[in-house]
Amino acid sequence: MSPIQLAVDALSLGGQFALIALGIGLIFGVMRMINFAHGDLITFGAYALVVPSAADMAVPFVGAWSAWFLIPSTLGIVMLATLAGERVAFRPLRRRHADGTSLLISSFAVGYLIQSVILFVHTGRPKSVSIFPGLTRHLEIASVRVSLIDVVTILVTIALLLVVLTFLRFTRAGLHLRAASEDFSMAKLLGVRADRVIFVAFGISGLLAGVVSLLYVAKTGVLDSRMGVPLAIAGFVGTVIGGMGNLAGAVAGGLFLGIASTLLQALLPEALRPARDAFVYGLVIVILLVRPGGLFVPRNAAVRI
């Protein structure tokens, strides 16, 4: 198998996982909560592309618009849903100083609520919708055929990571967010407004979820009420192996998971291929045994986890 092809395959999946892990990692940083609804928000964004209906045949709604409207609308819808989730399901708990377990359960509840509403409105039969049909082509790079959507996924991931990291590094809101991720209590004492910093974290997380919705549907063309669950798990594992609370670590963790998964799928002998995930998660366990705090452990990790 050509190394170029393998690299494109691995980076495309790794990129998507990195975006998901960053979305989950951002919220963990400021709330110490794993937002398991993140995957279902991705599902929500995907379903926003079609007209809500119980009919088998999906009629494109947002998905029928030109890319100039389609992209901002989908991103906006997912961001709004994410922020609404924060306002309704998490902020009241936080105000009452609920512990982490309650917040975690609340995130599961939000996830199940989204899944159930989709199941109710769209039924359980998977649907399909084709967005950006221009991307369902292939390119020849050094006489190797690669799918255009994979190349686009990698480019979008790089661009988005640069934007988010620049925002975190060079803006005041980004500074507050990083400070809150490091030590939330101290940041508050130093004048960082908790509600605002959490609002920003959820907003960016929602934006990232929306981008994954679009990349996912552009690649697969399918909608399924349960499609976000394995994505959330991949993102969660990515943040854990990257080192919880470390944003660059979350990105690296997600990337690692996608690359490991693709390489194992490509290189395992046929008989072992169906057990690919056992190998991937076996590797995750080994990493955590060697580096219990993850690959990129922040200095104050012991206090945090």
For other proteins, the binding residues (CB under 8 A) are 1-2, 5-6, 8-9, 12-13, 16, 56-58, 119-120, 123-130, 133, 135-138, 145, 147-150, 216, 219-227, 230-231, 262, 265-266, 270, 273-274, 276-277
Nearer to other proteins, 14 or 29 (CB): 14
Cβ neighbours of residue 225 closer than 8 Å, sequence gap 6 or more: 43, 115, 118, 119, 122, 124
Q: Side chain identity at 175, as an amino acid letter?
A: L
Write out the DSSP string of 73-123. HHHHHHHHHHHHHIIIIIHHHHHTT--HHHHHHHHHHHHHHHHHHHHHHH-
> What is the nearest approach in angstroms of other proteins to the Cβ of residue 57?
5
Nearer to other proteins, 86 or 150 (CB): 150
Nearer to other proteins, 191 or 269 (CB): 269
> What is the nearest approach in angstroms of other proteins to the Cβ of residue 202?
24
Q: Which of 126, 134, 135 is nearest to 46 (CA)?
A: 126
Backbone angles phi, psi at 156, to 5 degrees: -60, -40
> What is the nearest approach in angstroms of other proteins to the Cβ of residue 282?
16
> What is the nearest approach in angstroms of other proteins to the Cβ of residue 224?
4
Nearer to other proteins, 185 or 220 (CB): 220
Residues 37, 40, 42, 43, Cα dihedral to 10°: -170
Nearer to other proteins, 105 or 121 (CB): 121
**What's the CA gap between 173 and 192, in Å, rounded?**
9
> What is the nearest approach in angstroms of other proteins to the Cβ of residue 126?
4
